[in-house]
Structure 1
Amino acid sequence: MNINDAKKALKTYFGYSNFREGQEQIINSILCQRDSLGIMPTGAGKSVCFQIPAMLFSGITIVISPLISLMKDQVNGLNELGINAAYLNSSLTNSQYLSTIENIKNYKYKIIYVAPERLLTDNFINCCLELNISMITIDEAHCISQWGQDFRPSYTKIIDFINNLKIKPIISAFTATATQKVKEDITSILNLKNPFVLVTGFDRKNLFFEVQKPKDKYSYLLNFLKKTNDENGIVYCSTRETVEKVCEYLKVHKYKATRYHAGLADKERKQNQDDFLYDKSKIMVATNAFGMGIDKSNVSFVVHFNMPKDIESYYQEAGRAGRDGSEAHCIILYSGQDLVINSFMIEHSKDRIYEDNEIEKRLKSKDRERLKIMNMYCQTKECLRKFILNYFGEQANDNCQKCINCITKYENVDITLAAQKIISCILRVKENYGTKMIINILRGSKNKRILTLGFDKLSTYGIMNESEIYIRDIINYLIINNYLRVTNDEYPLIKLENKARKFIKDKELLTMKICAEKDIEEIGKTKSSSKSKDVLDIEIDDNLLIKLKALRLEIASEHGVPAFVVFADSALKDMCNKKPVNETQFLEVSGVGQVKLERYGKLFLDVIKSYLNKE
């Protein structure tokens, strides 16, 4: 059993001739019986890294996963590939659960997905004590750390389950996003022994990143969707109320949209999720309750109707686009209210459990710091891809040409005097107030609080007649460039950094980029919202593609699985490119292995040959 066996399994079952970046190294480490931690971005193929070793090991592999939807998708996919797999979670009836336990005891499955809450139940532990368990895999491993963005207390019990086993199996853990602190927690809490740690590049080259600040988010979203050619996408909203409004708005405008949030009944959530996975609904409008582990490969865009709470969440959610390697679009529709909503949710969230007041204080402070960085991302005029990669400790070029900032024409404007006025105002109020108050003083607001505090008597009162948006942009620029900082308090204050004091003293020139084109919203519509090119950079025969998709949908409906489980869009597009007419040629299509050749080859070859004969 070696890496050559793994390559053979990759082609036979998954239909690929080569591993993606990092897959071969971590699979080889696991096959060498070494604990392993893989930190790989969404869409990088983490599941293959544990599924292939699981097939090669003599015993069973247990995969601990946080979400029912993830288990169902991956088990469906594995069974379609001819790999026996099952899951244990709350969606099973008692008789189904007991039947699955019995099948596990009889070694009918190679891979078993288990919810963390089920690990320490008596019948499951008793079952596992009699099994030959080769490996335990922890998916979404960042959930084990209180410093991660999706901490789940049930994950901390995983080590208790492992310690109950007579023989410790190989431990492998995977996550898409992990800071240094989270990585240390995963290694420590899971007690990984001299682990092989792989951090692949975080860059998703097929994703286009964009931030817009439209006056009307609803109209902007509609204009964006008109250019997506009925493709599949996700629209994330920060609240349930916004989900309801956006979904209804899209339905009124004849889009096949559905919704998902924690306020819906379980039955409706499941039905709506299935409608999206099975392409009955093209657009999923959801809170962040939807998505972790959703393995839908043909998502062409992810729109954040509101700014998310941190870069980790954003990159994970945006990464659900383009999982099959095709070009995809990730856009945030930003407004200042998004910052207010997220700040409120940090302070009043009922979803997070804290061990004590001190930990609560520290974690909330960390959440506010992450939100501040997310806000900076939405304000920067520099390369968005570079901002994300730098956040995760990776270096990147200044000009990716795959984000809105890199394709927008900017001109440098002198903001020296404006910056001096802003800094002077912050000094006059002794650095004791936030952005809104500073802007109101500078613009000469007559609101009651300013008059009561006597700020209308300050020398900086009313000295700027520019718009609130323009002044806020300059303040954000000064924060991003370390002239100012915002505290992590519940009510953030603006403080001066040494760089600001030096700027005032030395009277240096300061310039800021502003868009040189007339309407920044039009840039997003015309330059970046056009239909994506295929990842293979070839002309696709659309008529043949329609016929292949129709056949795929027919097969998927018959088997009761999502269409992408039969073949990913990228495989169908490669069929359109290569136009195979025999089994040997069909095996050369990316995503076609021996199992799928035997199962579907004749059906797809017949459609292709019939189409070619009519040309």
Structure 2
Amino acid sequence: METKKSLFDNLQNFFGFDNFKGEQEAIITNILSGNDTFVIMPTGGGKSMCYQLPALMSEGTAIVISPLIALMKNQVDQLRAFGGSDSIAHFLNSSLTKSEIARVKEDVLAGKTKLLYVAPESLTKQDNIDFLRLNLVSFVAVDEAHCISEWGHDFRPEYRKIRQVISNIGENIPIIALTATATPKVQQDIQKNLQMNNATVFKSSFNRSNLFYEVRPKRNVMKELVMFVKQHQGKSGIIYCLSRKKVEEVAQALTLNGVKALPYHAGLDAKVRADTQDKFLMEDTDVIVATIAFGMGIDKPDVRYVIHHDMPKSMEGYYQETGRAGRDGGEGICVAFYSEKDIDKLQKFMKDKPVAEREIGTQILKEVIDYAESAVCRRKQILHYFGENFNEAGCNNMCDNCCAHKQQFDGEEHLHRMLSMMKNLGEKFDDHHIVSVLMGDDVPHVHHYEHHLLESFGSGKEHGALLWNSLIRQALLDNYISKDIDQYGLLRLTAKGHDFLENPHSIRFIMNRPIGATDDDSDDDNPKSTSGALDTALLQMLKDLRKKVAKQKNLPPFVIFQDPSLEEMCTHYPISTDELKQISGVGQGKALKFGAPFIELIKKYVEDNDIDRPIDMVIKSAANKSALKVYIIQNIDRHLDLEDIARSKGLTYEDILKEIETIVNSGTKLNLNYYIDEVIDEDKQDEVYDYFRSAEVDSIDNALVELGADDYTREEVQLMRIKFMSELGN
């Protein structure tokens, strides 16, 4: 057994640290004593030290099982740098050539290697098992141990075979299992599967007090992303997206707007991925836009923000990814964009999975939805998920919900009613069913159990589903009820819940905010902290100018610029043709034809009123639609039928008309006469054209009322409006 002095000497000599962090010392001592050890420690807590130091101090070679090649390489490089010899640490995985594998085995057999990193897939190969049996194995470290559990966020079937392989390599080999994210259920699974029920468990708090958590409604997300990154210029950040396509799109948009950003996903070449990782670590790039393939093992302490473009599939994933921010204890901002559409997409992905997997996936995803929709302290929710009770006063306003104005209600009577009903129903139903009964929903699952005949059926309708969902969420967080996840998320009363039924007391609950509601329920597209309000004085001046120009040119005002374009000018104050072209609905054609007087007016207004222009907030959009735009223009020039153009691109006829409208509204001239002459009589054409020439407002509905909906179809009016805008406005 190593002495305490020896432990500190090794820490100092090898890693250059004077002190251990948290429970590292106790963990290392436990391993050196030959005991099974289970470490649950959040990202940034110093997990790798827990097996690296004892491996260096023990006789033989420690086997470290790790799921990611990038993670292995990173750690091996660090150990070699500390140890001054390449033989001290090796990895064995599919990325090595035959001669490299031979060299690794030679070093291990010669006793030079203290840590051997192995992928779970390589570990189960018979020749590797035979080779490892020839060596003295000091202990086995199972990193990212949550991969063992189907309830974990990153389940890997190969991890299930680890126990069997260890038994084949040798007898009584101590195991240390480590994870940064494990709910009580996952912890149980890990210990059971690795047969380490007598292990000493070390569990650190999951609270990262320096991280600020925020969930935003997903509206104008690309614009918000660019604005956020610009406000944190020069700082390192990670943006997570669910799909590779979205990763490429976001990285391109950021680059277009002058941000040093790079994409990272599994579809890229291994060398490109490695280079990207190095550029991020060396600060040659500020932002990495990535799928969740990025970040495990990226030991960058000064990542200042982590943004989720899409909500992740699980709370573990969310916790682990946000945990990559502020690992040095400094600023760490975690923003997630939430929309019900994204959740629908994730639910669709699960449809093809086996029933058991789908059930588990649905429950895991439900936690994410509840987290995003709840108005309770974010920190309290995250920590509760990992089996840790937390008083929200300790959040110190480090989440959006604690900073927001909260609508509270007295929950005593409501909680009593709900708990009584749950008890009467035998505690055999989930939250969805409980709310359906209280709301009196006429749905099959309620009828199936004949719960529509209960006295309590519909008794909570007047309070609305939002209240009952808020109540259930907080009753869970405050431990009045618990969720039995082994039994499909059925809700059970806890001892505290039963006690409340016997001795009710006054209790305040917080009402969830409907998705996308801001504190004052304004439907502003951007959060208050990032965008200026619409300048109404300038808007009026621009409308007056538009009227004047329209009169001079004998055109309706909407042909010059449409209202949304003028409104955008009032928040971005463009003062050059290039800037004006970035305003939506203003292409090059429009900017050149009508832009000059508008630019002049805005420039003078900015000077006269000493306005601080948000110059970098004019968001250049990625040219992801430009290929389609060019395709449409080319084929209209070739006089192709519009329905054929739509079909060739998998679009509907309505879609193609919308795309053509956007092209024309932005100032590009299109000659559609060849098509319009085929489908609309000349007389009708003249009548619609004359109507638009004198129209006050740009509305197809108004046109149909004026012209007579029986005589004209919407399509005819739409086509003529396109012809009119193209010929007179461009």
Same fold, judged at TM 0.5 (above): yes
1:538-549 to structure 2, matched below 5 A, reads none
Q: Contact between 2:151 and 2:186, CA under 8 Å: does it hold in 1?
A: yes
- Note the alpha carbon deviations across 1:144-175, whole angstroms, 9 max, x for none: 12222211111122223211224432211100
1:403 maps to amino acid? M
Match of residue 41 from structure 2: 40
Secondary structure at 1:81's aligned position in 2? helix
1:385 aligned onto 2:379: yes
Secondary structure at 2:267's aligned position in 1? coil
Match of residue 480 from structure 1: 473
1:20-99 to structure 2, matched below 5 A, reads 20-82=21-83, 84-99=88-103
1:418-567 to structure 2, matched below 5 A, reads 427=439, 429-432=441-444, 477=470, 480-481=473-474, 512=511, 516=519, 522=527, 525=530
1:333 maps to amino acid? F
1:374 aligned onto 2:368: yes
**Separation in 1, partners of 2:409, 2:46:** 47
1:252-291 to structure 2, matched below 5 A, reads 252-291=256-295
**Separation in 2, partners of 1:4, 1:195:** 25
Displacement of 1:319 in angstroms is 0.8
**Separation in 2, partners of 1:236, 1:328:** 15
**Separation in 1, partners of 2:96, 2:436:** 64
- Note the alpha carbon deviations across 1:312-332, whole angstroms, 9 max, x for none: 111011111122332211111
Secondary structure at 1:410's aligned position in 2? coil
Secondary structure at 1:368's aligned position in 2? helix
**Separation in 1, partners of 2:510, 2:158:** 50
1:19-418 to structure 2, matched below 5 A, reads 19-82=20-83, 84-192=88-196, 194-348=198-352, 360-399=354-393, 400-405=395-400, 407-412=402-407
Q: Contact between 1:412 and 1:511, CA under 8 Å: does it hold in 2?
A: yes
Q: Contact between 2:397 and 2:403, CA under 8 Å: does it hold in 1?
A: no
1:32 maps to amino acid? S
Match of residue 3 from structure 1: 4
**Separation in 2, partners of 1:525, 1:433:** 45
**Separation in 2, partners of 1:190, 1:276:** 36
1:44 maps to amino acid? G
Going from structure 1 to structure 2, the CA distance change for 1:255 and 1:171 (only over 3 Å counts) comes to same
Q: Contact between 1:415 and 1:512, CA under 8 Å: does it hold in 2?
A: no
1:273 maps to amino acid? Q
Displacement of 1:23 in angstroms is 1.2
- Note the alpha carbon deviations across 1:296-327, whole angstroms, 9 max, x for none: 33322111111111111110111111223322
1:280 maps to amino acid? D
Match of residue 723 from structure 2: none
Q: Contact between 1:88 and 1:97, CA under 8 Å: does it hold in 2?
A: yes
Going from structure 1 to structure 2, the CA distance change for 1:321 and 1:525 (only over 3 Å counts) comes to same
Higher mean C-alpha deviation, range 407-416 or range 271-280: 407-416
Going from structure 1 to structure 2, the CA distance change for 1:131 and 1:252 (only over 3 Å counts) comes to same
Secondary structure at 2:511's aligned position in 1? strand
Going from structure 1 to structure 2, the CA distance change for 1:268 and 1:427 (only over 3 Å counts) comes to same
1:197 maps to amino acid? V
Going from structure 1 to structure 2, the CA distance change for 1:55 and 1:207 (only over 3 Å counts) comes to same
Q: Contact between 2:408 and 2:508, CA under 8 Å: does it hold in 1?
A: no
**Separation in 1, partners of 2:195, 2:70:** 28
Match of residue 593 from structure 1: none
Q: Contact between 1:308 and 1:342, CA under 8 Å: does it hold in 2?
A: no
**Separation in 1, partners of 2:313, 2:194:** 27
Q: Contact between 2:374 and 2:512, CA under 8 Å: does it hold in 1?
A: no
Q: Contact between 2:240 and 2:289, CA under 8 Å: does it hold in 1?
A: yes
Displacement of 1:433 in angstroms is 9.7
Q: Contact between 2:375 and 2:406, CA under 8 Å: does it hold in 1?
A: no
**Separation in 1, partners of 2:188, 2:51:** 21
Going from structure 1 to structure 2, the CA distance change for 1:237 and 1:475 (only over 3 Å counts) comes to farther
Displacement of 1:293 in angstroms is 3.0
**Separation in 2, partners of 1:9, 1:78:** 13
1:583-598 to structure 2, matched below 5 A, reads none
Secondary structure at 2:351's aligned position in 1? helix
2:112 maps to amino acid? K
Going from structure 1 to structure 2, the CA distance change for 1:9 and 1:223 (only over 3 Å counts) comes to same
- Note the alpha carbon deviations across 1:226-280, whole angstroms, 9 max, x for none: 2223111111112222212111111111212111223334443333333333333
Displacement of 1:367 in angstroms is 1.6
Displacement of 1:425 in angstroms is 11
Q: Contact between 2:439 and 2:465, CA under 8 Å: does it hold in 1?
A: no
2:25 maps to amino acid? E
Match of residue 575 from structure 1: none
Q: Contact between 1:147 and 1:363, CA under 8 Å: does it hold in 2?
A: no
Q: Contact between 2:184 and 2:387, CA under 8 Å: does it hold in 1?
A: no
2:315 maps to amino acid? I
Secondary structure at 2:161's aligned position in 1? helix
Going from structure 1 to structure 2, the CA distance change for 1:302 and 1:348 (only over 3 Å counts) comes to farther
Q: Which has the higher contact order (CA 8 A, sep 6+)?
A: 1
Displacement of 1:511 in angstroms is 7.2
1:277 maps to amino acid? L
**Separation in 2, partners of 1:397, 1:166:** 47
Secondary structure at 1:197's aligned position in 2? strand
**Separation in 1, partners of 2:410, 2:36:** 54
Identity of aligned residues (%): 38
Q: For structure 1, list consecutive stretches of 5 or more residues without a partner in the other structure.
A: 350-359, 435-458, 465-470, 503-507, 527-615
Going from structure 1 to structure 2, the CA distance change for 1:171 and 1:411 (only over 3 Å counts) comes to closer
Q: Contact between 1:209 and 1:402, CA under 8 Å: does it hold in 2?
A: no
Displacement of 1:411 in angstroms is 4.7
Displacement of 1:33 in angstroms is 1.1
2:230 maps to amino acid? K
**Separation in 2, partners of 1:10, 1:50:** 12
Q: For structure 2, list consecutive stretches of 5 or more residues without a partner in the other structure.
A: 415-434, 447-457, 502-506, 532-730
**Separation in 1, partners of 2:304, 2:327:** 9
1:208 maps to amino acid? F
Q: Contact between 1:379 and 1:473, CA under 8 Å: does it hold in 2?
A: no
